[in-house]
Amino acid sequence: MNDPIFAASFSRYDRRRFGCFALTISLIVALTVFSTFKPTLHPLTRTGDTFSLHLSISAVENILMDDSIINNTITAETEIDHSMLVINNAEPLNVAMNKAETKSAAQIDRKWRNYADLEPLCRALKPGANYCEIEGDVRIDPNSSTIFVVKPILETSAASNWIIEPYPRRGTGSVKKWTVKLAAEDAVPKCDQFHSLPALLFSIGGFTGNHFHDFADLLVPLFTTSFRFKRDVQFLATDYKPWWPAKFRPLIRRLSGGEILDIDREKTTHCYSRLIAGLKFHSELVVDSDSDSDSDSASGATMPQLRRLLRQTYSLAREKTIANRRRRPRLMLISRKKTRILTNEEQISRAARKLGFEVVSGEGAAENLTEFAQLVNSCDAMAGVHGAGLTNMVFLPEKAVVVQIVPLGAIDALAKLDFGKPAAGMRLRYLDYKIGVTESSLIRRYPGDHAVIRDPMSIHRQGWGKLREVYLDNQNVTIDVRRFRATLAKAIKLLRR
């Protein structure tokens, strides 16, 4: 104690007591600091436990955000076992979470749940279309009808197989099933052919050959799915039918720069960095980009864009109808030869001419599609009984009128779905004419009190097969011309606005 003021204030004995007290305090402080940074030297207090736990939570969050540990292609089917995740040789995550504060534990659980809810590689679109979009190391083995996706072991340990039908309607019985399988590098076939372009796999099975299904099930969904690639995409077809690409080759070539590959006949493994299996399908003859999570609308996949593409492909001169009272509007009557025949077509033609129409007749499935498309495009209106022939409205100019004659059988909703709703998307005007009992040939096959006539919904409840047999395959129509004139007059009025 060299300070003179301090020495003058206290005796030697007092100064000795003060020194001992200071030394004791210093030892206590040192011991406290040492204990704080060495928690193993004392039992865990509430403060010490919380401090340690916050370090663990921080470590967990860092791991969860590390793409090398948890890749963001984990599917909704993947189950994450919290109890097996160990952080820096500490306690399993579920033990640490039990000790955590409620808010922190909820944050960790939410991060895991977000990974588990990520969209899987394959999913079902409404109304049941299979659709897979895959990027990475993708290998197609035609021999086993398998699409292998090479992934790290961590990602392939959970449920990772999908069975798909690459066609918009499942369960047709004529579409080959394909397997999409996550697999490690050592469990997949070696690549025989590498491709730089992305691939699009779809089926030409199902209901192809029916003019409506050719467009609704294949051409429109093919456009919706592939247009974003601007022709830089390779088409792979399963259930290949040579006549189908031949019939629609001019349109297909505007969607893909190469020929369709018949993948079923290939014997080697084809490898891609990106592949789509299946077609986007929202509704019959509808391009509904707004419902797509990947925003196809930004790539131009809209119904107006498809209609422009059809005009370019088939050299269609007219984009819109023009209201002109001095020109007779042109009406196409769709003829049918097998079922739902319009038995008094000539009478209807005469009535239409008297109202001011020029009338032409055409069958729905013409041999030369280009010539028929040009004939349809020259018309201002189209009328026909519900059926595939009305599909040709895709070639009509904008503001044209479509008149659908709806047969007996409570199929109004079906008729509206197939042609009423699509007409609006094509910027066409739509009218329907629902026939009465006396206009149906069924009244001559069944008594008036029969369920087929009196209670069509009882037939519906027997399934699609029965409904189709009764109301679609075995019914013809004889129009009440006087009543139908009112619908034709309304069509002319719409055209002359």
- Give me the pLDDT at residue 318, please: 97
Which stretches of 199-292 are assigned E, i.e. beta strand? 199-203, 234-238, 261-262, 270-277
C-alpha 305/C-alpha 223 separation (Å) is 10
For residue 398, report the phi and psi dihedrals to the nearest 5 degrees.
-60, 150
Residue 193 contacts residue 270 (beta carbons within 8 Å): yes
Chain segment 131-164, per-residue pLDDT in tens: 999 999 999 999 999 999 998 766 555 557 899 9
Residues sharing a CB contact under 8 Å with residue 46, sequence separation 6 or more, in sequence order: none
Mean pLDDT of the region 453-459: 98
pLDDT at 82 over 60: no
In this structure, of 71-85, 287-301, 381-395, the range with the lowest mean pLDDT score is 71-85
- Give me the pLDDT at residue 23, please: 66
Question: How much of the chain, in percent, has pLDDT values that exceed 70?
Answer: 71
pLDDT at 70 over 60: no
Burial category of 297 from C-beta neighbours within 10 Å (exposed 0-12, middle 13-18, buried 19 and up): middle
- Give me the pLDDT at residue 157, please: 52
Nearest CA to 130 out of 77, 75, 203 is that of: 203
pLDDT at 129 over 70: yes
Residue 173 pLDDT grade (very low, low, confident, very high; cuts 50, 70, 90): confident
Mean pLDDT of the region 448-455: 97
Chain segment 19-41, per-residue pLDDT in tens: 656 666 666 656 655 555 444 33
CA 127, chain centre distance (Å)? 9
The mean pLDDT value of the chain amounts to: 80
Torsional sign, CA 189, 194, 197, 200: negative
pLDDT at 170 over 90: no
- Give me the pLDDT at residue 400, please: 98
Higher pLDDT, 69 or 167: 167
Residue 311 pLDDT grade (very low, low, confident, very high; cuts 50, 70, 90): very high
- Give me the pLDDT at residue 88, please: 30
Residues sharing a CB contact under 8 Å with residue 302, sequence separation 6 or more, in sequence order: 287, 289
Domains in the chain with CATH codes:
12-116 (no CATH), 124-312 (no CATH), 319-495 (3.40.50)
Chain segment 328-363, per-residue pLDDT in tens: 999 999 999 999 999 999 999 999 999 999 999 987
C-alpha 202/C-alpha 196 separation (Å) is 19
For the whole prediction, is pTM greater than 0.85?
A: no
C-alpha 80/C-alpha 248 separation (Å) is 48
Chain segment 210-261, per-residue pLDDT in tens: 999 999 999 999 999 999 999 999 999 999 999 999 999 999 999 999 999 9
